[in-house]
Amino acid sequence: MTTPASLEEPAALPPTEHPAIAGSSSPPPVIGVLALQGAFAEHVRALARLGVISREVRLPADLDGLDGLIVPGGESTTIGKLLGRTGLLDAIRQQATADALPVWGTCAGLIVLATDIGDSGSRIGQPQPLLGLMDLRVRRNAFGSQLDSFETDLAAPAVADRPLPAVFIRAPVIEATGDGVEVLARLPDGRPVAARQGRFLATAFHPELTDDLAFHRYFVEVVAAEAAERRSA
Protein backbone atom coordinates (compact mmCIF):
# COMPACT_ATOMS: atom_id res chain seq x y z
CA MET A 1 0.00 0.00 0.00
CA THR A 2 1.15 3.54 -0.63
CA THR A 3 2.23 5.65 2.32
CA PRO A 4 2.04 9.47 2.29
CA ALA A 5 5.42 11.16 2.09
CA SER A 6 4.99 12.52 5.62
CA LEU A 7 4.83 8.94 6.97
CA GLU A 8 7.75 7.50 5.04
CA GLU A 9 10.37 5.91 7.27
CA PRO A 10 14.11 6.54 7.00
CA ALA A 11 16.43 3.77 5.86
CA ALA A 12 16.84 0.95 8.37
CA LEU A 13 19.43 1.58 11.05
CA PRO A 14 21.97 -1.01 12.18
CA PRO A 15 20.99 -2.48 15.57
CA THR A 16 23.51 -0.49 17.62
CA GLU A 17 22.10 2.78 16.27
CA HIS A 18 18.44 2.10 17.02
CA PRO A 19 17.09 4.85 19.34
CA ALA A 20 15.91 2.29 21.92
CA ILE A 21 19.44 0.93 22.37
CA ALA A 22 21.69 3.76 21.19
CA GLY A 23 24.64 4.35 23.48
CA SER A 24 24.13 1.05 25.30
CA SER A 25 27.08 -1.25 25.85
CA SER A 26 24.71 -4.23 26.10
CA PRO A 27 23.92 -6.50 23.12
CA PRO A 28 20.94 -5.35 21.02
CA PRO A 29 17.66 -7.10 21.85
CA VAL A 30 16.59 -10.14 19.86
CA ILE A 31 12.85 -10.34 19.12
CA GLY A 32 11.17 -13.57 18.13
CA VAL A 33 8.24 -13.78 15.73
CA LEU A 34 5.91 -16.77 16.10
CA ALA A 35 6.08 -18.43 12.67
CA LEU A 36 3.48 -21.20 12.85
CA GLN A 37 0.86 -19.48 10.69
CA GLY A 38 -0.21 -16.00 9.62
CA ALA A 39 1.55 -12.73 8.83
CA PHE A 40 4.90 -13.46 10.49
CA ALA A 41 7.08 -12.54 7.49
CA GLU A 42 5.70 -8.99 7.51
CA HIS A 43 6.73 -8.54 11.14
CA VAL A 44 10.22 -9.85 10.39
CA ARG A 45 10.55 -7.29 7.59
CA ALA A 46 9.30 -4.46 9.82
CA LEU A 47 11.85 -5.32 12.51
CA ALA A 48 14.58 -5.47 9.87
CA ARG A 49 13.66 -1.97 8.74
CA LEU A 50 14.29 -0.83 12.31
CA GLY A 51 17.63 -2.62 12.34
CA VAL A 52 16.42 -5.08 14.99
CA ILE A 53 17.57 -8.70 15.11
CA SER A 54 14.67 -11.16 14.83
CA ARG A 55 14.20 -14.92 14.91
CA GLU A 56 11.34 -17.05 13.62
CA VAL A 57 9.87 -19.18 16.42
CA ARG A 58 8.43 -22.63 15.67
CA LEU A 59 9.55 -24.74 18.64
CA PRO A 60 10.15 -24.09 22.35
CA ALA A 61 13.92 -24.17 21.81
CA ASP A 62 13.56 -21.13 19.53
CA LEU A 63 12.57 -19.06 22.58
CA ASP A 64 16.02 -19.41 24.14
CA GLY A 65 17.80 -16.07 24.40
CA LEU A 66 14.88 -13.96 23.17
CA ASP A 67 14.19 -10.53 24.66
CA GLY A 68 10.67 -10.25 23.22
CA LEU A 69 8.10 -12.12 21.13
CA ILE A 70 5.48 -11.12 18.54
CA VAL A 71 2.39 -13.32 18.01
CA PRO A 72 1.15 -12.33 14.53
CA GLY A 73 -2.22 -12.14 12.90
CA GLY A 74 -3.65 -15.19 11.16
CA GLU A 75 -6.34 -17.64 12.27
CA SER A 76 -6.51 -17.67 16.04
CA THR A 77 -7.95 -21.17 16.42
CA THR A 78 -5.24 -22.64 14.17
CA ILE A 79 -2.50 -20.68 15.96
CA GLY A 80 -3.82 -21.83 19.34
CA LYS A 81 -3.92 -25.49 18.31
CA LEU A 82 -0.40 -25.33 16.85
CA LEU A 83 0.86 -23.66 20.03
CA GLY A 84 -0.50 -26.60 22.00
CA ARG A 85 0.85 -29.25 19.63
CA THR A 86 4.37 -27.82 19.54
CA GLY A 87 4.59 -27.25 23.30
CA LEU A 88 4.89 -23.51 22.73
CA LEU A 89 1.70 -22.66 24.61
CA ASP A 90 3.19 -23.64 27.97
CA ALA A 91 6.71 -22.55 27.02
CA ILE A 92 5.65 -19.02 26.05
CA ARG A 93 3.40 -18.69 29.09
CA GLN A 94 6.28 -19.78 31.32
CA GLN A 95 8.77 -17.33 29.81
CA ALA A 96 6.26 -14.49 29.74
CA THR A 97 5.35 -14.89 33.41
CA ALA A 98 8.40 -16.37 35.17
CA ASP A 99 11.09 -14.87 32.93
CA ALA A 100 9.36 -11.53 32.18
CA LEU A 101 9.39 -11.95 28.38
CA PRO A 102 7.53 -9.07 26.66
CA VAL A 103 4.90 -10.28 24.18
CA TRP A 104 2.94 -8.39 21.51
CA GLY A 105 -0.09 -9.89 19.78
CA THR A 106 -1.59 -8.47 16.58
CA CYS A 107 -5.15 -9.33 15.47
CA ALA A 108 -5.29 -13.11 16.07
CA GLY A 109 -2.36 -12.61 18.42
CA LEU A 110 -4.53 -10.29 20.54
CA ILE A 111 -7.11 -13.07 20.85
CA VAL A 112 -4.45 -15.57 21.95
CA LEU A 113 -3.08 -13.13 24.55
CA ALA A 114 -6.51 -12.49 26.11
CA THR A 115 -7.93 -14.23 29.17
CA ASP A 116 -11.57 -14.20 27.96
CA ILE A 117 -13.04 -14.50 24.46
CA GLY A 118 -16.58 -15.25 25.61
CA ASP A 119 -18.76 -17.32 23.29
CA SER A 120 -16.77 -16.30 20.19
CA GLY A 121 -14.04 -18.85 20.98
CA SER A 122 -14.80 -21.65 18.54
CA ARG A 123 -17.39 -22.48 15.92
CA ILE A 124 -17.23 -26.16 16.88
CA GLY A 125 -17.62 -25.61 20.60
CA GLN A 126 -14.10 -26.59 21.59
CA PRO A 127 -12.10 -24.34 23.91
CA GLN A 128 -9.79 -21.89 22.15
CA PRO A 129 -6.21 -22.39 23.44
CA LEU A 130 -5.10 -19.09 24.95
CA LEU A 131 -1.90 -17.75 26.48
CA GLY A 132 -4.08 -15.69 28.84
CA LEU A 133 -1.42 -13.06 29.51
CA MET A 134 -3.61 -9.94 29.34
CA ASP A 135 -6.71 -9.16 31.38
CA LEU A 136 -8.94 -8.58 28.36
CA ARG A 137 -12.34 -9.73 27.18
CA VAL A 138 -12.19 -9.94 23.40
CA ARG A 139 -14.69 -10.69 20.65
CA ARG A 140 -13.46 -12.43 17.53
CA ASN A 141 -14.51 -11.25 14.05
CA ALA A 142 -16.19 -8.23 15.60
CA PHE A 143 -16.56 -6.41 12.27
CA GLY A 144 -17.77 -9.26 10.07
CA SER A 145 -16.12 -11.29 7.32
CA GLN A 146 -13.02 -10.51 5.28
CA LEU A 147 -15.24 -8.53 2.92
CA ASP A 148 -15.82 -6.10 5.80
CA SER A 149 -12.12 -5.37 6.26
CA PHE A 150 -11.20 -1.70 6.39
CA GLU A 151 -8.41 0.80 6.96
CA THR A 152 -8.51 3.87 9.16
CA ASP A 153 -6.25 6.27 11.05
CA LEU A 154 -6.06 6.01 14.83
CA ALA A 155 -4.85 8.34 17.55
CA ALA A 156 -2.40 6.59 19.88
CA PRO A 157 -0.67 9.38 21.84
CA ALA A 158 1.48 7.00 23.88
CA VAL A 159 2.86 5.50 20.68
CA ALA A 160 3.19 8.48 18.31
CA ASP A 161 2.27 12.16 18.12
CA ARG A 162 0.40 11.72 14.83
CA PRO A 163 -2.48 9.57 13.55
CA LEU A 164 -1.37 6.03 12.72
CA PRO A 165 -2.68 3.90 9.84
CA ALA A 166 -4.45 0.72 10.92
CA VAL A 167 -5.59 -2.24 8.80
CA PHE A 168 -8.48 -4.33 10.17
CA ILE A 169 -8.97 -7.79 8.60
CA ARG A 170 -11.60 -10.03 10.25
CA ALA A 171 -10.47 -8.18 13.33
CA PRO A 172 -11.36 -8.70 16.98
CA VAL A 173 -12.33 -5.91 19.33
CA ILE A 174 -11.62 -5.42 23.03
CA GLU A 175 -14.91 -5.50 24.93
CA ALA A 176 -13.56 -5.01 28.45
CA THR A 177 -10.25 -4.44 30.22
CA GLY A 178 -9.12 -5.37 33.69
CA ASP A 179 -7.07 -3.49 36.26
CA GLY A 180 -3.65 -2.47 35.07
CA VAL A 181 -4.58 -2.41 31.37
CA GLU A 182 -3.88 0.84 29.51
CA VAL A 183 -5.93 1.48 26.37
CA LEU A 184 -3.60 2.85 23.69
CA ALA A 185 -6.07 3.42 20.84
CA ARG A 186 -9.80 3.49 20.24
CA LEU A 187 -12.07 3.56 17.22
CA PRO A 188 -14.19 6.69 16.75
CA ASP A 189 -17.10 4.88 18.45
CA GLY A 190 -14.94 4.43 21.58
CA ARG A 191 -14.18 0.72 21.31
CA PRO A 192 -10.61 -0.14 22.34
CA VAL A 193 -8.41 -1.69 19.64
CA ALA A 194 -4.95 -1.43 21.21
CA ALA A 195 -3.87 -1.99 24.80
CA ARG A 196 -0.86 -2.49 27.02
CA GLN A 197 -0.53 -4.30 30.33
CA GLY A 198 2.99 -3.92 31.63
CA ARG A 199 5.29 -5.76 29.22
CA PHE A 200 2.38 -7.11 27.15
CA LEU A 201 0.97 -5.30 24.11
CA ALA A 202 -2.04 -6.12 21.93
CA THR A 203 -3.45 -4.57 18.76
CA ALA A 204 -6.66 -5.63 17.00
CA PHE A 205 -5.25 -4.41 13.69
CA HIS A 206 -2.17 -5.13 11.55
CA PRO A 207 0.60 -2.50 11.87
CA GLU A 208 2.88 -4.83 9.90
CA LEU A 209 0.70 -4.39 6.79
CA THR A 210 1.39 -0.64 6.65
CA ASP A 211 4.59 1.27 5.98
CA ASP A 212 4.43 2.92 9.40
CA LEU A 213 6.78 1.48 12.03
CA ALA A 214 5.49 3.35 15.09
CA PHE A 215 4.00 0.32 16.89
CA HIS A 216 7.05 -1.84 16.12
CA ARG A 217 9.31 0.93 17.43
CA TYR A 218 7.13 1.20 20.55
CA PHE A 219 7.41 -2.54 21.21
CA VAL A 220 11.17 -2.48 20.68
CA GLU A 221 11.37 0.23 23.34
CA VAL A 222 9.28 -1.91 25.73
CA VAL A 223 11.59 -4.86 25.06
CA ALA A 224 14.77 -2.81 25.53
CA ALA A 225 13.49 -1.31 28.79
CA GLU A 226 12.54 -4.74 30.15
CA ALA A 227 15.92 -6.19 29.16
CA ALA A 228 17.72 -3.33 30.90
CA GLU A 229 15.64 -3.90 34.06
CA ARG A 230 16.48 -7.62 34.08
CA ARG A 231 20.20 -6.86 33.72
CA SER A 232 20.14 -4.41 36.61
CA ALA A 233 18.22 -6.72 38.94
Catalytic site positions:
107, 206, 208
Three-class SS state of 44: helix
Task: List, in order, residues 6 or more apart from 116 with CB less than 8 Å away.
Answer: 136, 137, 138, 176
Three-class SS state of 126: coil
In angstroms, the CA 122 to CA 98 distance is: 29
Q: How far apart are the first and last CA of the chain?
A: 44
What are residue 58's phi and psi, to 5 degrees? -130, -20
H helices present in the chain, as ranges:
40-49, 76-86, 88-97, 108-113, 214-232
Of 19, 22, 18, the C-alpha closest to 52 is 18
Query: What are the CA-CA distances from residue 154 to residues 80, 162, 204, 216, 228 (Å)?
Result: 28, 9, 12, 15, 30
What are residue 110's phi and psi, to 5 degrees? -60, -45
Alpha-carbon 48 to chain mean position: 16
